[in-house]
């Protein structure tokens, strides 16, 4: 590899393996006027030394949502423009509706099903965005615009093509389940390898490559991908959502309680959020857990460990959990009356696939060693 340092010095590095870990950057799409408006990305937004008077946010995904709430709580007027019919459109509509209503309570304006037609002005001075929403054209005026509408992999200028490293049709490095690229000795980890876009997944990718370089056979398929959106309250999920279960034809029992059923939440004046779990129909294993709750990420992790261990949901139901903690709410959740959701498929086959999912990586990791 040839590397130019910041002082212009050229260095040549030689090794037996190369690991590409260059990540992604905010995508600035081909919306007329967007590039000329010099929009903030998350990088500039985090370096602002002023609170925007009115921030127009393009994109209602993780980054757009977190930064919208942050800026609103700093005192900015915020409008979020999302092209889909809900924020975080892949998540369950009922959960997202609660999140949207919390945004409304905060005074954040959410424009859904909105197509941006053109942008004029300059971020930091004044910006106007013309959108079409349900057949009607309207113009939004703001002081700043933040673009949070997807990511672009950092692959340019690396000479990947010279080394025979192929890209996918979405521009990410093509890798197999061991994270090997198409060029011998070249590996890829993290977002540039098209892995789910979370720090903990990039770290796990590192562990996969480390073990494989050490002679193991560790793979990425079948691993759990927990996540937490760091809004107030947090939105955390591990395993299947209802949307995913339905899309994959997996029958399940749904357990769901409002946070007011969690006694400690009441003492924290937290009362309108969600705790829900999917349990397999013909067994007791937990397929998924979602929290829209104060400390939701922490609570999710304890359910995740139970899922990895293959514990039945009855372990939570029957456990003596300390009163008053938020985790005590898991006892209330798993004691609640389930509703059953049937789907027309060979459920035994698919459910057993899902049931094994949590164990697959552990088994593969062990095999790798
Ligand atoms: C605003 C924001 C909030 C987030 N919050 C969370 C969160 O709460 N939890 C979570 O799990 N994830 C979060 N993420 C996602 C998380 O940051 C990424 O998934 C993670 O950083 C990806 O790791 P990576 O190693 O693939 O890439 P990166 O962390 O992006 O690292 C890539 C590095 O490569 C460098 N690089 C690029 N090209 C070159 C080159 N040609 N030569 C040398 N160096 C190069 C880059 O400068 C960068 O330092 C967030 C992301 C954003 C944008």
For the chain, the residue count is 369
**Ligand 1 center to 186 CA (angstroms):** 20
Given the CA of residue 196, which atom of ligand 1 is nearest to it?
19
* Closest residue CA from atom 30 of ligand 1: 23
Architecture of domain 26-150: 3-Layer(bba) Sandwich (3.50)
Determine the number of helices (DSSP H) and then strands (DSSP E) in the chain: 10, 19
For residue 271, what pLDDT is reported? Answer: 64
Name every protein residue with a CB atom under 6 angstroms from any ligand 1 atom: 21-23, 42, 63, 154, 157-158, 190-192, 197-200, 202, 230
* Closest residue CA from atom 6 of ligand 1: 198
For residue 345, what pLDDT is reported? Answer: 54
For the chain, the domains span 26-150, 165-223, 228-355
Cβ partners under 8 Å of residue 316, min gap 6: 303, 306, 330, 331, 333, 334
283-337 confidence digits (pLDDT tens) = 999 999 999 999 999 999 999 999 999 999 999 999 999 999 999 999 999 999 9
How much is the CA Rg of the chain, to the nearest whole Å? 23
Place of tokens 């540039």: 192
CATH 3.30.390.30 for domain 228-355: yes
For residue 344, what pLDDT is reported? Answer: 62
Probe target for ligand 1 pocket from 40, 48, 156, 191, with the most ligand atoms within 8 Å of CB: 191
Burial class (CB in 10 A: 0-12, 13-18, 19+), 165: buried
For residue 272, what pLDDT is reported? Answer: 57
pLDDT < 70 positions in the chain: 271-272, 344-369
């Amino acid at each position: 590899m040839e590397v130019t340092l910041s002082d212009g010095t050229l260095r040549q590095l030689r090794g037996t393996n190369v690991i590409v870990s260059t990540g992604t950057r905010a995508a600035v799409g081909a919306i007329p006027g967007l590039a000329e408006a010099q929009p903030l990305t998350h990088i500039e937004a985090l370096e602002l030394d002023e609170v925007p008077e009115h921030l127009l946010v393009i994109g209602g995904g993780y980054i757009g949502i977190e930064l919208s709430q942050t800026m609103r709580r700093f005192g900015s007027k915020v409008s979020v423009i999302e092209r889909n019919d809900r924020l975080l459109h892949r998540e369950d509509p009922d959960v997202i509706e609660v999140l949207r209503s919390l945004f409304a309570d905060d005074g954040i304006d959410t424009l859904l099903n909105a197509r941006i037609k053109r942008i004029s002005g300059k971020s930091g001075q004044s910006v106007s965005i013309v959108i079409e929403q349900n057949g009607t054209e309207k113009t939004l005026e703001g002081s700043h615009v933040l673009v949070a509408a997807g990511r672009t992999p950092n692959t340019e200028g690396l000479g990947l093509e010279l080394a025979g490293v192929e890209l996918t049709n979405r521009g990410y490095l093509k890798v197999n389940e061991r994270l090997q690229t198409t060029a011998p000795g070249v590996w890829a980890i993290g977002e540039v390898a098209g892995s789910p876009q979370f720090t903990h997944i990039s770290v796990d990718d590192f562990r996969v490559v480390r073990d494989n370089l050490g002679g193991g056979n560790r793979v990425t398929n079948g691993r759990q991908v927990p996540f937490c959106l760091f809004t107030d309250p947090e939105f955390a999920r591990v395993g299947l959502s209802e949307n995913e279960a339905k899309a994959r034809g997996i029958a399940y029992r749904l357990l769901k309680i409002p946070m007011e059923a969690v006694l400690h939440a009441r003492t924290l004046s937290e009362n309108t959020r969600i705790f829900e779990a999917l349990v397999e129909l013909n067994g007791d294993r937990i397929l998924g857990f979602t929290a829209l709750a104060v400390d939701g990420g922490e609570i999710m992790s304890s359910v995740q460990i139970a899922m990895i261990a293959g514990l039945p949901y009855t372990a939570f139901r029957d456990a003596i959990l300390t009163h008053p903690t938020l985790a005590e709410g898991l006892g209330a959740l798993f004691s609640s009356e389930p509703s059953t959701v049937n789907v027309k498929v060979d459920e035994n086959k698919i459910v057993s696939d899902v049931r094994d999912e949590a164990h697959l990586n552990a088994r593969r990791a062990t095999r790798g060693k």
